[in-house]
Structure 1
Amino acid sequence: MTISRGPNFCVALTTVRQRAVVQTRARTKTKMALDSALSTPQRVAVIGGGLAGLSTTYHLLEKMPSGRHLSVEVFDKGLVGTAGASAVAGGLLHPLSPRGKLVHLGMEGLQATNYLLDKAQRSSADVGCTPESVVLRNELYRVAMTPNNVKQLQTTAQTLPELCEWVDSGTDLSGLFSEGDNSVLGALRMYNGCKVIHPPSYLSSLWAACESLADEKELSVSWNIIHGDDGFTESTLSAWKNRLKDFDAVVVSAGSGMFGTFLPLASLPIQLVRGQSLEMRIPSDAQWSKNALLCGKYVSPLADKDTVLVGATHEFQENALNVKGVLAELKIRTEGMVPKLWEQGVIQRMTVGYRVQSERGRHGRLPIVGRIPMPFAEALHRNAWVFSGLSSRGLLYHGIFGEALAGAVLQGNESLIHVSYPELAWWQKS
């Protein structure tokens, strides 16, 4: 049999091959879409409803494609905004180190957090809050107490004029400090996205935003309180594993409460830090308390206009400082800024929070974000993820990394995190 190869044979053969390639690609795309649909989790448990947990929850709901089903169930030991280190945080949102340097991903983190703040403020009325009770101030001040501080912060003001400005001592600082009896040499005013947040109001409002988004997209989200002996201990792990077996994925964002239970501290380059703060009532006519001030420690306004938060201790020892010890540590670091606080203020109560702090690396202290490796994951769930170790940068980093984690969980692909943020693999290499 002879095959005729006319002048159009090559063209026809090329066309056939092109069609075959197109059809193969189409089948591949269809299969990938089907695999994605089948692998996308439909039921996710988020353990811990603080900054990390609620950021992850919101982004899970937001990133879920339309027409798909998703149920996110949050487990926490208290009502929204009442438990854990997130609820008693200082609420100071800014991207600068104590020396005035821009921290790693500082501007990106600031933008991501402000995105969530906007969502929370829009939903604040649903939980009896107002936008003003979520964001208490739209600026804060890093105070210079030494000539070296002045030099560092003035350099920052020149380098980042879109974010901050230098304010000289004297008349420029009137109203910020009690005049004539402080050691302040000047201050760096931080604005344009830098804010003072009231954490309980923010967390409650962000949860309301999660509920609103779930309703809008016809998804499901729920809050579950962990009662008493039902917490995470060696004796309850088996019960928790059984409870979580019907979930497609589990995100552990419970901070210090989870570590040492199924994820041993000794296996990770982290440590637990205790932070104690004082809530102090001040005279209603005080003019020196209207703004948040930082210099090692901080003095920050609270929702009650006549109350400020002074914090926080940084304790690594097993036994906590007593009231006298906390008072001594905080007073010596803040009295130079606001001496009248210690003359006229009255201590209302002391708060305490435990947070997970990572080792300092090339990019500073980065959180633990990613899939929990075996054999630790097996103790809880076959598809377990972790988002913890935010430490003192919880407000700055919870938005940007919660979004990255949510995308990876929905696609079951941890490498998606490392493509955008390869530095987040640090804890798996240690």
Structure 2
Amino acid sequence: MLSLHSNFSVIGKTSQLMRIGKHQSPVVAFSSSSRLHQQSLRYAVLGAGFAGLSVAWHLLEHSPIELHISIDVLDEVGIGGGASGVSGGLLHPYSPKVKPLWRAAECWEESLKLLRIAETAIQTKESSFNNGEIAHSSYEFIARRRGILRPAVSLKNMSIMNENAQNSLASCRIQSINEDAAQILMPNICVPSNLAFHMQGAINIHPQPYLEALYVACEALARDMSSVGPGEKDINFHKKSIDNLLQLEGEYDAVIVCLGARSTFLPELSGRLPLRTCRGVTAHFHLPENIGEEIPEHSPSILSDAWLAIQNPRNLHVGSTWDWKSCNYSQKVSMEEASRALEELLPKASAVYPSLRKWVFHGASAGLRAMPPLTGNGSLPLLGRIDDFITQNHSSKFWLFSGLGSRGLLYHAWLGKLMAQAVISCDEGVIPQEFTSWRPKL
């Protein structure tokens, strides 16, 4: 077992050496500014999902070693309490519905890096969060590396996946296989056109333990950076509701709103963000003990009109529904809502995996996605300064990172890094214009 303390000491020292070496990061602009004389900075990160915890990690990693940095992560529900915590967790750098994703390579590599950091952190219990225990300790791992299988169910889908295959990344190749080969990977799968696409390097992440482990990693990084540099680093989680952004005015040097769909409920942002809300329900199934046809340990998850995220040989999740314009961001699902979700999901899922009919439904979870507008580069999240949305006489700087939509796992690490660098350097130019062009021109 790796030592968390020693591992993060290396990470902390390496990141500091990079900042003072010849490969300068954007934080140098901050170091040369007049604010260098302010030896202590406080940041508020609103939201403890994919976006919020990625930003928190990178604020620590990229902060100047000489400054005292204090980060408060605020979320009224808890870590992973929103849509991030109940997502399907299928991580791959491709789109099965539109043209190849823009900047997919950067997103993929950064997500893999952040996943490795979280996996290292979960190997110990060195955390003050939740009395030192991971809340969902029943999970033995946070990532299942068995790939993802995509049966071709239409000519359009076949064309798009073929294009993805031709441009696939070296670390996540796409292999075209026939039904016999698909059956070896996933017994009893149905491949209507005798063609499926195997994304061998794709990963099925368990979102809730991943997010909890990422917060543990933030704590460890703060401790280790404090031990090797003159500036103390500190991070704290607060289960707290934020009713409006002005209540934080003057309390923090920067406030980063990473609330996903809940951002649209803040009075300062209501009706001003080009986001659509969409509630998605995920159904949970298990295989009864009297049935022996469990899924082989090597089998990949399945991506189709409904996805099947394999948890273990006798448990899987199926999703997801699309309830547009919903305002319900609770993870809880009523019996009526669950029944409607099953009526929609079961036919789609059993069309590619008929054996699902033998499985038993044992619950559901839901989340409210923040869906961004469609651009020439696809549906891109919203990033940037929002001071003009809050107040003209601001003593704090306000930033937004929202609209991860259904691609949160792929985008969160890279964009969290860019957002943190922009906040630290006070330079929005760090962020590609494609992510900031959503704001109205002043």
Give the TM-score taking structure 2 as reference length. 0.79
Shift in CA distance, 87/131, structure 1 to aligned 2, threshold 3 Å? closer
Structure 2 partner of 1:17: none
How far apart in 1 are the matches of 2:30 and 2:296? Answer: 64
Shift in CA distance, 286/370, structure 1 to aligned 2, threshold 3 Å? same
Correspondent of 1:402 among 391, 416, 433: 416
Correspondent of 2:433 among 416, 419, 422: 422
| Residue 276, structure 1, aligned to residue 275, structure 2 | no
Deviates more, 1:30-39 or 1:370-379: 30-39
Equivalent pair of 1:372/1:384 in contact (CA under 8 Å): yes
Q: Tell me which amino acid in the other structure corresponds to 1:255.
A: G
Q: Tell me which amino acid in the other structure corresponds to 1:171.
A: D
Higher helix share: 1
Structure 1 partner of 2:205: 197
Equivalent pair of 2:252/2:396 in contact (CA under 8 Å): no
How far apart in 1 are the matches of 2:406 and 2:70? Answer: 31
Correspondent of 2:255 among 230, 250, 254: 250
How far apart in 1 are the matches of 2:164 and 2:51? Answer: 29
Shift of 1:155: 4.2
Structure 2 partner of 1:259: 264
Structure 2 partner of 1:21: none
- Where does the alignment leave 5 or more consecutive residues of structure 2 unmatched? 1-27, 126-133, 227-232, 329-335
Secondary structure of 1:407's counterpart equals: helix
Shift in CA distance, 318/53, structure 1 to aligned 2, threshold 3 Å? closer
- Aligned pairs for 1:34-113 within 5 A: 35-38=34-37, 42-81=41-80, 83-99=81-97, 101-113=99-111
Quote the RMSD (CA, aligned, Å): 2.9
| Residue 171, structure 1, aligned to residue 176, structure 2 | no
Equivalent pair of 1:254/1:388 in contact (CA under 8 Å): yes
Query: Which deviations, in whole Å up to 9, do the C-alpha atoms of 1:149-198 show, x marking residues without a partner?
Result: 34443443234273323343332112444448663632211134x21111
Runs of 4+ in 1 over 6 A off after TM superposition: 29-32, 129-132, 378-381
Structure 2 partner of 1:355: 369
How far apart in 2 are the matches of 1:379 and 1:255? Answer: 26
Correspondent of 2:309 among 300, 304, 314: 300
| Residue 315, structure 1, aligned to residue 323, structure 2 | yes
| Residue 386, structure 1, aligned to residue 395, structure 2 | no
How far apart in 2 are the matches of 1:146 and 1:258? Answer: 36
| Residue 338, structure 1, aligned to residue 353, structure 2 | yes
Structure 1 partner of 2:8: none
Equivalent pair of 2:261/2:277 in contact (CA under 8 Å): yes
Query: Which deviations, in whole Å up to 9, do the C-alpha atoms of 1:267-292 show, x marking residues without a partner?
Result: 22211111111011125632378321
How far apart in 1 are the matches of 2:60 and 2:111? Answer: 17
Give the TM-score taking structure 1 as reference length. 0.82
How far apart in 1 are the matches of 2:364 and 2:295? Answer: 24
Deviates more, 1:167-176 or 1:396-405: 167-176
Secondary structure of 1:80's counterpart equals: coil
Equivalent pair of 2:279/2:322 in contact (CA under 8 Å): yes
- Aligned pairs for 1:221-232 within 5 A: 221-226=235-240, 231-232=241-242
- Where does the alignment leave 5 or more consecutive residues of structure 1 unmatched? 1-28
Q: Tell me which amino acid in the other structure corresponds to 2:72.
A: E
Q: Tell me which amino acid in the other structure corresponds to 2:42.
A: R
Shift of 1:118: 1.0
